[in-house]
Amino acid sequence: MGNFYSDNRDLVFTLKNLDLSESVGMLEENYTCSAKYPGAPVDFADALDNYERVLSVVGEVSADRIAPRSREVDLHGAKFADGVVTYDPLTVQNLKDLAAAGVMGVMLPHQYGGLNFPVSVYTMMTEMVSRADASLQNIFGLQDIAETISVFGDDAQKEEYLPRFATGEFDGAMDLTEPDYGSDLPGVRLRAWQDADGNWFLNGMKRFITNGCAQVHLVLARSEEGTSDARGLSMFIAEKCPQLVVRRIEDKMGIHGVATCELQFNDVPAKLVGQRRMGLIRYVMSLMNGARVAISAQAVGIAEAAYREARKYASEREQFKSTIDKFPAIYSMLSSMKCKLTASRALLYETTRIVDLRNVYSHIVDHGTPTPEQRQLKKYYERVAAQLTPMCKALCTESANQIAYDTIQIHGGTGYMRDFNAERYYRDARITNIYEGTTQLQVVAAIGGVIQRHLDTRINEVAAEITGDKAVALKDKLMALLDKQHEAVGFVSSLKNPAYHDMMARNLVEMETIIFVGLLLLRDGVKCADRAPVAERYVLNGINDFNQRYAQVMSGDVTLIANNRDIIDY
Amino acid sequence: MSKKVLVFVKQVPDTQNITGDAMTPEGTVNRAALPAIFNPEDLNALELALQLKERYGVHVTVATMGMPAAAEVLRASLYRGADRAILLTDRALAGADTLATSYALSCCVKKLGDIDLVLCGRQAIDGDTAQVGPQIAEKLAIPQLCYVEEVKDLDDKTITVRRAIEGGYEILNAPMPALLTVIDANDPRPMNAHNIMRFKNARTKSEIARPAGQTPLTPEETAAKAAELERAGLLIEEWSAADVNAAPERVGFAGSPTKVKQVMSVVLTASEAKQVEPTEAGINELIHELISDHTLG
């Protein structure tokens, strides 16, 4: 009997030490929900106990049911014939098990049959499911669709859809990208039109739609004729119907268990969600930010699985009369992988914690009678979440790729073979830094906050929690880097060269990440001594990585802007 | 009127994951060293009952006979979707063999009165007798359907099941009430998050009186707390031998004719490996040898 929750010290530590009391208190309306809904927590300790118990169930389902099926699922994958997508029977069984465990509406409010859990706890589930079978997370993680209806839909829409999402009867898809509009979503062309009675219909194509065979679709469509930008787009709910045709499914490198569909909308009846023209700028941005956190968790889950395989293999494989993990070349690789994994998880749950706070304050401002202070807090957490989410996705997904890459390397030739899981993790990880916005786009989303120093308050807060001689010495080194970061940001801004700014953006975002994550890890090392060596290693590696980037930024070398064609076209 | 199903479950030491200190020096099971788990085939029986709940809307009661700690398997049943849970616990019931156990459980069925189906796991992993289910049916004089894999149909008066037999299966139909023993032919569902949150504080009176790691409560405190839990639907019923009208001479040690005569601690010693040629003739020879020493056939 395995358990992907209790066998993961880092995850157990995270739940115990991630202080969710403020957001959970607000989410549970000061624990008054317990009077109306049996099982709703009566205080924070009770809520935490619920989280732990439910995470343990999902950990067991992931370890004992989903993981043993994952190889078969990858081998067979989703099938398509005569316009119908069929999932592998084991994928269907996985979804049935998760529905039986009652975790298909994790974040939905109690009144719609949800668990009313915070994003942080839901994210831990997605991480575990992904460790078991990354492709299943793509279907499990589409709970974000229901969450979006819950936040932006009207009461009738919520009544109609949410209870059936909560039981697992409905699954969802978010239909955003089109053949010609991937990263460039403001250009989306799928047309929404109204008949004389005001009923909406959708017409056009969507491409690369994860689980496009779903019952319920959230569709980004152009409702304002004659427009060509983001402000002409609205969001609609459409249901599976004969007019909504799956044309084909993609033959992918990884995540074989889930179908990626090309959809044709032939006047599909639809319902408008929220206000017209707010489709992309408000609702889809919110949906995508949620999905970015989910994909970060997917990446961390794959990285966890890969790292464990690498560690196990290295401890069993003997060469030159010794297991290979005794060799510096291998143990330095393994420790670097572990540092990346722990760093990713630290930033992931710091991000979800802030996202949870943003959500509860947004809810009060949008639906309650907020105090001026609460309005301020909403704005603050919005800003921090807007910077952390893309930083987090960039770090987690790039790290997962590096970890999966090294896992194959540690396996040697064996890792290249289909007999081992290593190559599957590598293939599955490869999409995470592409979909829901490539790393390059995450940098675009994060750089504004880096330039405007949105994270400085939080950086100083975390730094203030670090105590103990050794940790403080390392903290001081990071705080010295923060001064250099300010200098680098000022330097890039002062050049007033947009191309140089864009070219250096990734360096600046990664430099910011090194400082912030280093501090998070040092703080956690104070709480648990066993973590201190990981923190120290991360910081020492990080300083070198930072300085290399710093030198590049400060060089002011603009030659590439002038001569990139000469290089590329040679 | 929905049908009533009673599932008997048992908390057993986990004999599947044995460690070195599983036996005491005296040759008895060292229960302290083995984690207590839900008897696996009882989980199959519960799963079958919960499927009947989904298909036919039956009401599912789960009952167990055991020490107060056995309430844990009752909570685990509530987490999976059982409607009602009963703990049959009494010092007088201790030391029971299969005869005394089946008698006590049959009294429990009679006490409940209007049960249409009794479900048991085929056997428990601590005794492996597979006797208790059939003996309950005999004492109640109702049909017994053993080694059941699935329920094909349930109508107002009869039940149709598929059961495993050597080399195949049988479809059997029986009038109700009837007793089924269930084998490992379904996939027990995981515990449900909503039910966990709802029932995690469900307790028996014994548990209320002696909360783990705290000082015992006074009888008044216990009664007050029990009343509070009952109002919230969180009191797990607790019955004594007298509550189910069991004759004292037929339960527990007194009612158990089985006596352990001797316990042998068998130490297995591996013998030499034997090489079999990977040829038709070699395999034939091996099969003949296995048949002649009754390992096969």
Q: Are residues A100 and B190, on separate chains, in Cβ contact within 8 Å?
A: yes
Low-confidence spans in chain A with pLDDT less than 70: none
pLDDT in tens, B209-268: 998 888 899 999 999 999 999 999 999 999 999 999 999 999 988 888 888 887 777 777
CB A443 within 8 A of CB A299: no
Nearest in space to B5 (alpha carbons), one of B122, B132, B154: B154
pLDDT for the residue numbered B289: 85
CB A125 within 8 A of CB A52: no
- Per-residue burial over B239-262, b if 16 or more Cβ lie within 10 Å, else e, is bebeebebeeebbbeebbeeeeee
Residue with tokens 């004089």: B141
Find the CATH number of the domain harbouring A232: 2.40.110.10
Same domain, A16 and A157: yes
For chain B, the helix, strand and coil percentages under 3-state DSSP, each to the nearest 5: 35, 25, 40
Same domain, A321 and A460: no
Cα A167 from Cα B221, distance rounded (Å): 39
Which amino acid is it at A344?
S
pLDDT for the residue numbered B297: 66
Q: Are residues B193 and A103, on separate chains, in Cβ contact within 8 Å?
A: yes
CB A127 within 8 A of CB A11: yes
Express as a percent the part of chain B with pLDDT over 90: 66
Same domain, A287 and A204: no
In total, the C-beta contacts within 8 angstroms joining chain A to chain B are 48
Same domain, A140 and A254: no
Nearest in space to B103 (alpha carbons), one of B244, B218, B198: B244
Q: Which residues contact A422 (CB under 8 A, 6 or more apart)?
A: A306, A309, A310, A313, A404, A407, A408, A411, A414, A415
Find the CATH number of the domain harbouring A487: 1.20.120
Cα B147 from Cα B165, distance rounded (Å): 8
Same domain, A286 and A338: yes
Same domain, A329 and A424: yes
Cα A435 from Cα A211, distance rounded (Å): 14
Domain count for chain A, please give it. 4
Q: Domain end: A228, A253, A277, which one? A: A277
CB B183 within 8 A of CB B164: yes
* Interface-testing mutation among B194, B199, B201, with chain A (most A C-beta atoms within 10 A): B194
Q: B210 to each of B35, B207, B214, B241, how far by Cα in Å? A: 21, 5, 7, 20
Find the CATH number of the domain harbouring A377: 1.20.140.10
Chain A residue with minimum CA distance to B234:
A38
Q: Domain end: A400, A434, A468, which one? A: A434
The yes-or-no verdict on residue B28 having pLDDT over 80 is: no
User: What is the arithmetic mean of pLDDT over B38-53?
Assistant: 96
Q: A141 to each of A401, A430, B288, how far by Cα in Å? A: 20, 18, 56
User: What is the arithmetic mean of pLDDT over B96-106?
Assistant: 92
Give the distance from residue A218's alpha carbon to the nearest chain B alpha carbon, in angstroms. 27
Residue A492 lies in a domain: yes
| A contacts of B195 (beta carbons < 8 Å) | 39, 102
Q: What is the CA radius of gyration of chain A?
A: 24
Chain B residue with minimum CA distance to A49:
B197
Same domain, A299 and A369: yes
Q: Are residues B192 and A49, on separate chains, in Cβ contact within 8 Å?
A: no
Helix (H), strand (E) counts: chain A: 20, 11
In the three-class reduction of DSSP (H, G, I as helix; E, B as strand; rest coil), residue B36 is classed as strand
- Single pTM value for the model: 0.92
Residue A502 lies in a domain: yes
Q: A110 to each of A141, A155, A214, A557, B264, how far by Cα in Å? A: 19, 15, 24, 56, 57
Residue with tokens 């599912």: B60
Q: Are residues B196 and A60, on separate chains, in Cβ contact within 8 Å?
A: no
pLDDT for the residue numbered B272: 72
Residue with tokens 């352990």: B260
Residues of the domain holding A42: 1-170
The yes-or-no verdict on residue B124 having pLDDT over 70 is: yes
CB A248 within 8 A of CB A262: yes
Find the CATH number of the domain harbouring A58: 1.10.540.10
Q: Are residues B190 and A65, on separate chains, in Cβ contact within 8 Å?
A: yes
Chain A residue with minimum CA distance to B79:
A101
* Interface-testing mutation among B47, B80, B197, with chain A (most A C-beta atoms within 10 A): B197
Residue A57 lies in a domain: yes
Cα A470 from Cα A475, distance rounded (Å): 9
Cα B103 from Cα B140, distance rounded (Å): 9
Same domain, A176 and A163: no
| A contacts of B200 (beta carbons < 8 Å) | 49-50, 53
Q: Which of B196, B198, B233 sits opposite A57 (nearest CB)?
A: B196
| A contacts of B187 (beta carbons < 8 Å) | 93
Residue A292 lies in a domain: yes
Q: Give B178's strand partners.
A: B117
Cα A14 from Cα A21, distance rounded (Å): 14
Q: Domain end: A146, A170, A194, which one? A: A170
Q: Which residues contact A417 (CB under 8 A, 6 or more apart)?
A: A423
Burial label, A36 (beta-carbon count in 10 A; 0-12, 13-18, 19+): exposed
Chain A residue with minimum CA distance to B194:
A102
| A contacts of B192 (beta carbons < 8 Å) | 100-102
| Mean predicted lDDT score pLDDT of chain B | 90
In the three-class reduction of DSSP (H, G, I as helix; E, B as strand; rest coil), residue A205 is classed as strand
Q: Are residues B196 and A97, on separate chains, in Cβ contact within 8 Å?
A: no
Helix (H), strand (E) counts: chain B: 8, 11
pLDDT for the residue numbered A460: 97
Cα B220 from Cα B209, distance rounded (Å): 10
Q: Are residues A57 and B193, on separate chains, in Cβ contact within 8 Å?
A: yes
For chain A, the helix, strand and coil percentages under 3-state DSSP, each to the nearest 5: 65, 10, 25
Q: Are residues B193 and A115, on separate chains, in Cβ contact within 8 Å?
A: yes
Give the distance from residue A103's alpha carbon to the nearest chain B alpha carbon, in angstroms. 7
Chain B residue with minimum CA distance to A35:
B232
Same domain, A325 and A396: yes
Same domain, A260 and A187: yes
pLDDT in tens, A362-421: 999 988 899 999 999 999 999 999 999 999 999 999 999 999 999 999 999 999 999 999
pLDDT for the residue numbered B95: 83
All domains in chain B, ordered by first residue: 4-250 (3.40.50.620)
Residue A528 lies in a domain: yes
Residue A205 lies in a domain: yes
pLDDT for the residue numbered B1: 62
CB B78 within 8 A of CB B9: no
pLDDT for the residue numbered B26: 62
| B contacts of A65 (beta carbons < 8 Å) | 190
Same domain, A288 and A423: yes
Same domain, A324 and A310: yes
Helix (H), strand (E) at residue B4 = strand B4-9
Question: In B, what residues contact A, Cβ < 8 A?
Answer: 187, 189-198, 200, 232-233
| B contacts of A49 (beta carbons < 8 Å) | 200
Chain B residue with minimum CA distance to A106:
B193
Chain B residue with minimum CA distance to A55:
B193
